[in-house]
Structure 1
Amino acid sequence: MKNELFDYDNKDIIFISIFILLIGMQHIKLSFFDKLKFLFLIIILSPFLLLYLFIGFIYELYFVCPISSKSF
């Protein structure tokens, strides 16, 4: 499903959100182990999210990018 305001897919929005979350966690005044617990909680709550992002990245790398580069 495309977002009409921005031309991003849903997995792009999820990836950007995780990236912003990881950058923001650097500025949180927590101990290192509390940050690790928070990251593990995110991974446990969404177990297929990282796999979904990895498969999407591989798909775009091998199928979308070569097709788009040949069309120009």
Structure 2
Amino acid sequence: MSNVKELLQFAKENDKVVKLIAERGRNFIRDHLRMEDVSCYWLKLLKRYAKLLKFKPTRNKEYKQITSSSR
């Protein structure tokens, strides 16, 4: 990603295009992925991210866990 600055500049200057890209991404996820797939992706992503951390994260007991049955 050597062109991040250029991509950000493009995004700032092309709001309609960026919104269309986001909408198409959202539609793809909704139409082609199951929640199980999305959850699996996030689990893998967060596990990889955790390996990069220089400290051990701890769970704040005061925070409530959000689950699909909490709706």
* Fold-level similarity (TM above 0.5): no
CA radius of gyration, larger in: 2
TM-score, length basis structure 1 = 0.38
TM-score, length basis structure 2 = 0.39
Higher relative contact order (CA 8 A, sep 6+): 1
